[in-house]
Structure formats: C-alpha cells, structure tokens
Homo-oligomer: A and B are copies of this chain.
Amino acid sequence: MELPGKRRVTRPVFVGSVQVGGDAPISVQSMTTTDTRDSQQTLAQINKLAEVGCEIVRVTVNSREAAQALSVITSSSPIPVIADIHFDYALALLSLKNGIDGLRINPGNIGSQLKVREVTRVAREENVPIRIGVNAGSLERDLVERYGRSPKAMVESALRHIAFLEKEGFYDIKVSLKASDVLRTVQAYRLLAKRVPYPFHIGITEAGTIFSGTIRSAIGLGILLSEGIGDTMRVSLSADPVQEVRVAYAILRDLGLRHRGVEMISCPTCGRAEIDVISLATRIENRLISVKTPLKVAVMGCVVNGPGEAQEADVGIAGGNQKGLLFRKGRIIRRLPPDDLEEPLIDEIRSLTGEFIP
C-alpha cells in the first residue's frame, strides 16, 4: 500500500483562481475571526493569513451589513473570499452580488426549492461554487432519530442537500462533513467518497484547546489525506487563524503532499547540548513563519556532530563549547560567536530565498 494513497477522483471547481479538486494541490484555507462588518480589520487579518500561505479565506456573513462590507473586502483581498451563510438566502444573493468567490450554505435549510433556484441561478452567473457544510451537531431531526448523530446520518444529510442543487442542474459543489471527533469525521468522509464525485473540504470541528485541536486535526486530516481523500482543508483551532494555516502546512508536508516554507530540524534533547536548542529553534521557527520557499533549517547544539547530523538541512547553525558555526548542506561556511547565531542564520536565509524576513 503506497502512502499517501491514490487521490480520490473528483470533479474540480474553482474558488476564484484556486482550483479545488481534480489534480489541484490540496488548498489551505482558514476563517477570519473579525467582525465582518469591519472591512478594514477583516482585510488586515486576511492579509496576515495570505502572508503565511492561506489560499482561500472564509468570512461569516450573518447580517446585511456584513454582506455589504463584502464589496470592499472582496475587491481588496489578495485571496479568494468565501461567504459563510446560515439559512438566509437574501444574504447569499447580496454576497454573490458583492464579489465573493465561494458560498457556504446548506440548500436544504434556506426554505424552498424556489429559493435554491434563485441562489444557484446567481451563483452560476457569477461562477461561484457552493459548499455544503454538514455538521454532526446540527443534523435534521428525522435523520438523528433514525441514525443518531452517526456518520451515516451525516452522509444522508449531505446527499439531501446535494439533491437540492442537482435538481437545479448545479454541480459546482464541494462538501464537508464535520464532527468534533476524529472517528465520526473520518468514517463520514470515507462513506461519502463512494457516493459522489464532488471535491471535499476536510476539517474537524473545533472543540478544545490549541493543544488538543492540533492533535485532533493532525490525526483526522492525516488519515483522510493519507487515503487520498480531501481537496481543500481547514484546521479549526480556538486560536489566531494564522496558527491554523501553520498546522495545515505541517500536515501536508509530513505527508509529502505540499512543501511550503521552513521545516526546522533540531537535535533531540540531550545532555550534550550546550546552547538552549529548543527555545532557539522555536524562536527562529516563529521568525520564519512567512517564508514561502521550501527550506530545511537546522539548529544544533553541538559544533562537532551538528553539521554532519543535519546534512539534509539547506542551512543551519550549531553552537556550543564557546564556538559557533553556520553551515550549508553539512559544510561549514562561517565561524560565529556562540551567542550570536540567530542573526547570521536569518541573514543567510534572506540571501538564499530573496524573501523579506522581519
């Protein structure tokens, strides 16, 4: 069995310029936490997200004012914007007019097939795909009664919503099936994967701290992606959404699916380390968060073994025993004072990548 498994074959859609599904790379998305009515603050957050590699951003649209603010947001956003809407089809129509690139709405919840017709008509005109977002916490009552809040119930709910769109000849569809636990989420996606050709937005609903949310997303999205399931992903965390993007890329990198930015290599904790490798590596990792170029950066605690052990690193530092080194691909290129390793390393990365590093 190869890893990751063969990618599931899906019918691609376009969220603005970003292809989702088909043979497109798995795209990384996140969601703003600002008040959408405040377009300036929202744009500021979108810009920060785009800087760390977010490729699609979703914003809550829970009022007319929020939908109106979209015209400013969508015209200045560097990445495609998706409007997240619950129930209110008038907000969907207004958002579509205001330049959004994607719509998240569950067609079975907006009132009638006529309203679905109107939304899909405008979405088609504007070339906007619709994501159906099934959540185990808010399933239809009859499905819960029949199947409980099970993967089966989630899949049946998705199929119902999909039918509303297909009835209108609308197929630019993505689907998500989220629960707050790994097991149900994975099973639901596996089941639906056999039933429909639409690309999947994958994610686990947030329900905990950054610590538990990171682990839960890594396991759940890791299992799905390793089976070839998933076309766009969001890591949900109760935290600054910048962290969501970081975790998403770390997951994709570990599965060999995408390589963006810096991967840190550092020595394990050991009695020999003579500089504080852990805190130095973590500080440098945070400074390099916006670097786009794929790069392996090593921070080692031993000048004797460090460069050799970190041969695979594009660039690295080693410090200890009153000495310091800067090396590239295992070859020493400069000697450094052991208490001044960070800046020379950052400088080297600046010149290697040609990117701005604050």
**Are B33 and A238 within 8 A (Cβ)?**
no
**Are A182 and B250 within 8 A (Cβ)?**
no
Nearest B residue to A4 via CB reads B183
Segment of A50-58, A164-172, A218-226 in the binding face: A218-226
**Are A269 and B238 within 8 A (Cβ)?**
yes
CB distance from A317 to the nearest CB of B (A): 15
Nearest B residue to A2 via CB reads B187
**Are B209 and A269 within 8 A (Cβ)?**
no
**Are A209 and B285 within 8 A (Cβ)?**
yes
Cβ of A123 under 8 Å from chain B: no
Q: Mark A74-101, 1 if CB is under 8 A from B, else 0.
A: 0000000000000000000000000000
**Are A211 and B285 within 8 A (Cβ)?**
yes
- CB neighbours (8 Å) of A4 from chain B are 183
CB distance from A43 to the nearest CB of B (A): 17
**Are B264 and A209 within 8 A (Cβ)?**
yes
Q: Mark A1-12, 1 if CB is under 8 A from B, else 0.
A: 111100000000
Which residues in chain A, 202-221, are within 8 Å of chain B measured between CB atoms?
206-212, 214-216, 218-220
Segment of A18-26, A112-120, A127-135, A274-282 in the binding face: A274-282
CB distance from A208 to the nearest CB of B (A): 5
- Classify chain A: how many residues form its interface, as a range: 35 or more
CA distance A262 to B215 in the complex (A): 15
**Are B254 and A181 within 8 A (Cβ)?**
yes
Nearest B residue to A241 via CB reads B269
Q: Which of B35, B186, B206, B264 contacts A3 (CB 8 A)?
A: B186
A-B contact pairs, 20 of them (CB 8 A): A35-B271, A181-B256, A182-B254, A207-B265, A207-B268, A211-B246, A211-B250, A211-B282, A211-B285, A212-B264, A214-B214, A214-B215, A215-B247, A215-B250, A215-B254, A216-B250, A219-B219, A222-B223, A238-B266, A239-B269
List of 9 A-B pairs having minimum Cβ-Cβ separation, nearest first: A219-B222, A218-B218, A215-B250, A215-B218, A182-B254, A206-B268, A33-B269, A218-B219, A208-B264
